[in-house]
Amino acid sequence: MASVKPGIFVKNEADPTAKANVIAMDISSLKTAKNTLKPVSICVTEPKGVPIEKADVVIVGGFGIGDQKNWDMIAEIATLLGGAAGCTRPTVDAGWAPGEHVMIGTSGKSIRPKNYIGFGISGATHHICGMKDSGLVINVNTDEKASIFDVSDFCVVGDLNKILPELLEQVKASKKAASCTF
């Protein structure tokens, strides 16, 4: 058996002329692990909004966001833009993000949004593996040498505690202006 995480490979066009080799084998002698596992509990988290792997816009928070308040602003901006909020593993581990269904990286989701905007992302290889095929990549970090800047189209060296609230207000104002009818 082999398993591959969704989003790792680009889907190729089907080749209707391709032939497969079918090998018949007797599996009756194989030992099974029948009835050796017993579920203790099943926990299903229902994600809200656009699934992160299908969103055109993904706003991402790393451990550098520092707290729940900043995560909430990231999630609100993502919703207002019709996108999804994503995060790194430390953000989930800190309890700020809702769960692994929004985590980007080797132990989370692989995404390819048209627009990726990150806040407080250091640029660990685990995370970069999950977002490397994104379109336009913008990142905000106070560390001008953050590894995430190596894979960014636009780098903002600045304090996300000032930038996030201002961005949220600008997006809200833009949405309000767009909803006005004359």
Sheet containing 57-61: order of strands: 84-87, 57-61, 115-119, 136-141, 154-157
Say what the pLDDT of residue 92 is.
95
Q: How many domains is the chain built from?
A: 1
3-state secondary structure of 18: coil
Has residue 41 been placed in a domain?
A: no
Helix (H) or strand (E) holding 138: strand 136-141
Q: How far is CA 156 from the centre of its chain?
A: 20
Has residue 73 been placed in a domain?
A: yes
Encoded amino acid at 145, one letter: K
Higher pLDDT pick, 18 / 78: 78
Has residue 15 been placed in a domain?
A: no
Whole-number Å distance between alpha carbons of 56 and 82: 8
Question: For the domain that residue 96 is a member of, what is the CATH number?
Answer: 3.40.50.1220
Has residue 72 been placed in a domain?
A: yes
Has residue 46 been placed in a domain?
A: no
Residue 4 in this model has a pLDDT that exceeds 70: no
Q: What is the pLDDT of residues 42-90, one digit of tens each?
A: 555 555 678 999 999 999 999 999 999 999 999 999 999 999 999 999 9
3-state SS track over 52-113:
HHHCCEEEEECHHHCCHHHHHHHHHHHHHCCCEEEECHHHHHCCCCCCHHHEECCCCECCCC
Residues 6+ apart with CB under 8 A from 29: none
Residues 6+ apart with CB under 8 A from 80: 168, 171, 172, 175
Has residue 14 been placed in a domain?
A: no
Q: What is the pLDDT of residues 106-156, one digit of tens each?
A: 999 999 999 999 999 999 999 999 999 999 999 999 999 999 999 999 999
Whole-number Å distance between alpha carbons of 25 and 128: 42
Domain that holds residue 116: 52-177
Has residue 69 been placed in a domain?
A: yes
Whole-number Å distance between alpha carbons of 96 and 68: 5
